[in-house]
Chains A and B, each alone.
Chain A
Amino acid sequence: MPDSFGEDITFTTDHFSTICYDAPTVIIQQVIKGLSDLTDVEIDEIFKGGIACNWWRRLRSLPQKQVPDRLTDRNLEWHRNSFKKPDPLQGNAPFCDNTPFISTSAGTVERDVMNRTNTLTAAWKTALYFATDRWTKDGWLVYCHLFLIGKRAILLEAFSEELRELNIYTGFSPFYVEGEITAKIVIPTAQIERADSWSLSDAQTAIASGNLPAASRVKKNPNFVKPDDYNNLRSLLV
């Protein structure tokens, strides 16, 4: 059978062994993105188009050909450590204006990390801190699902970067937001489950009475595709 270059491809077991790799285990991780100053209409827009990185949002249309030059180790480091610093590669505009990455919170996932650090901060709390602009206004927590492969894959848009895995020796780092997972270019709408609206005053009233706070309103994304619908988990028929 000729391929597009006119060469014969023989589908033998050997041939497939050269092009099929052992797929790493893909982890589907639930994360939370805290967002502030958004109306219901703007949340609906996110449900249609996903959560875009600042670079895309600023340009309004994505220059796809530039994506490989943006998804670099250097930019990931700038995203984490120099978020608001002037970026000489972008005419000294603050790096955050042109970041191709999107920060999200996953909290502490592994018990081993808690055992070593003696601490555990819930993902929703970290996200809410940013969403409420440091406890000053109402905010949104957007629940998403990101794909991880347990190793660095910066050029691969589809896979997010797991911060805690970067510190291969200790498994934790004092310098980064705990449990941060960084998405790339866009979190597609199919991976966005819902957006929870949080009233700061309701949250404050709840904790003043010794209760854990909860969202005041939940908006479900009609375009969300449940991971159960596409992952490889085979469940029993009966």
Chain B
Amino acid sequence: MPLHDLLKELNLDPELIARDRDMSVGLAWAYQRSALEIRSDEDRWFAHMMASATEYRRAGAHSILLSDREGAAKMFDQAGGVYTQMRRPYALMMFWCSRETNDVSARARDFGSLEGIDRNQLSYLLLSSGAEDEGRETEKWEAITMRMSGSQNAPIGVLGMPVGVYADLAHTLARRELSPSTVLEALLPFLLTYSTALRRCMEDEYHWRLLAFPFHPAEPDVLGVLYCVEATLRRRQQGSLLRILESASLFPPATNLLYNAISERFHNPEKLM
């Protein structure tokens, strides 16, 4: 079932989501244009760029809920572009939501040296690097791992995931052979955090229906990670997250949302068993 058709079941209003998406798209563009008139060393430039990326990101997540794959890809690509301009490798999580693996790897290499990149942001570079099959720059991989070693418990992202769970997943993906159990073990922190957040937010019916919280039902922080893993599994012909999700015993609406978001992203017509 397309995600769009699940919205009523999830007590979400497609019309509200579509209206809010239109507003986010417009604001994202307006903030981006406005930043062009500000010097990039000013705090205001940072704030306008961050607001622009946030709105593109929100528009992308809304598009996923509306089963608008093309719209989602366009919005996440724009968000990734803005984060890249700010030298934030979080951009790669946006690109995992919009592009093919080779493109994401190329964008990761665009960051060049690690100079000027916030230590916690390296998690996203490491994860994308772990997903590569060949051509991984060993020296860079080690340099990132070393720089991240002191901040394994630092929370990052909307869900406050510890930096260490990104490193664990990156090291899992870097192995040549991936089994469903090792993938599930590395993904569990993401899946359980998402599942818990969804359950808590859904209990607060008023704010849930209005989507009035920083967390999103199609949370790009989680979907970016899952898309990265699914793309890797498919490319290496080592299974699919769809099967793994079925055995993960999450909050049922969480499984439903993730399953359909992955199916639609990879044009997979499979149904949740």
> Chain A: residues with CB nearer than 8 A to chain B?
80-85, 96, 111, 114-122, 125-126, 129-130, 134-136, 169-170, 172-178, 204, 206-208, 210-213
Contacts and interface: CB of A to CB of B under 8 A. Distances in A.
Interface residues of B, number: 45
Contacts of A117: 157-158, 214
A173 B31 CA distance: 25
Interface of B: 16, 19-20, 22-23, 26-27, 29-31, 33-34, 43, 46-47, 50-51, 53-54, 57, 83, 88, 90, 118, 120, 154-160, 197, 200-201, 203-207, 210, 212-215
B155 A175 contact: no
> What 10 pairs between A and B have smallest CB-CB spacing?
A207-B26, A174-B215, A120-B50, A170-B160, A119-B54, A84-B206, A170-B155, A118-B90, A83-B206, A135-B19
A176 B207 CA distance: 9
A178 B216 CA distance: 12
A36 to B, nearest CB: 13
Contacts of B155: 116, 169-170
Contacts of B207: 81, 83, 177
Given A134-B16, A170-B155, A211-B30, 6 more contacts: A121-B51, A170-B160, A178-B213, A204-B23, A210-B29, A212-B34
Contacts, number: 116
Contacts of A211: 30, 33-34
B29 A174 contact: no
B26 A204 contact: yes
Contacts of B51: 120-122
Given A116-B156, A172-B160, A82 B204 contact: yes
The A interface, classified by DSSP as helix, strand, loop or mixed, is loop
Given A119-B54, A176-B213, A135 B23 contact: yes
Given A207-B26, A208-B26, A210-B29, A116 B213 contact: no
Contacts of B29: 207, 210
Contact of B213 (A83, A115, A177): A177
A119 B204 CA distance: 22
Nearest to B204: A81
B201 A175 contact: yes
11 contacts: A82-B204, A111-B46, A115-B118, A115-B120, A118-B50, A118-B158, A135-B22, A135-B23, A173-B160, A211-B34, A213-B30
Given A117-B157, A210-B30, A178 B214 contact: yes
Nearest to A82: B204
A213 B23 CA distance: 11
Contacts of A212: 27, 30-31, 34
Nearest to B210: A134
B34 A174 contact: no
B32 to A, nearest CB: 8
B27 A136 contact: no
A135 B160 CA distance: 30
B90 A175 contact: no
Nearest to B205: A84
B215 A175 contact: yes
Nearest to B155: A170
Contacts of A178: 213-214
A84 B204 CA distance: 9
